[in-house]
Amino acid sequence: MGRTNPTYRDYIRRLEDDWRPFRRGLRRRYQDDFDRLFERARDHADAAGYANGTDPEFAFILSVLLAQEYELRQLRERVDDETGQDRTGRD
């Protein structure tokens, strides 16, 4: 039988294992944030796998950025709701 290419999820798992010493070196207050980066990447694993790009590291970074952008948008909307502002006219 032929070999199969590793999946994006496999890549994330391997990347997380490779960076485990870095995580251990982080102060305890940052370790949960580090873990959350990989959770965010896993949240978008279906899209990254579907894209089937040649550079899974780029898909990882884009997944994390997308998750952070989503969170920022939600926080902005929440602030707008609480302050009564409307940001529809912004760039």
> Domain coordinates of the chain in residue numbers?
8-83
Q: Which long-range contacts (CB under 8 A, 24 or more apart) does 17-24 make?
A: none
At 91 the pLDDT is 45
Q: How far apart are CA 90 and CA 80, in angstroms?
A: 13
Output the CA–CA distances (angstroms, integers) from residue 58 to 62, 64, 74, 75, 82, in the order listed. 6, 10, 24, 26, 36
Q: What string of pLDDT tens digits covers the 91 residues of the chain?
A: 556 778 899 999 999 999 999 999 999 999 999 999 999 999 999 998 888 777 889 999 999 999 999 999 999 999 999 888 776 655 4
pTM for this one? 0.75
At 5 the pLDDT is 76
Q: How far apart are CA 34 and CA 16, in angstroms?
A: 10
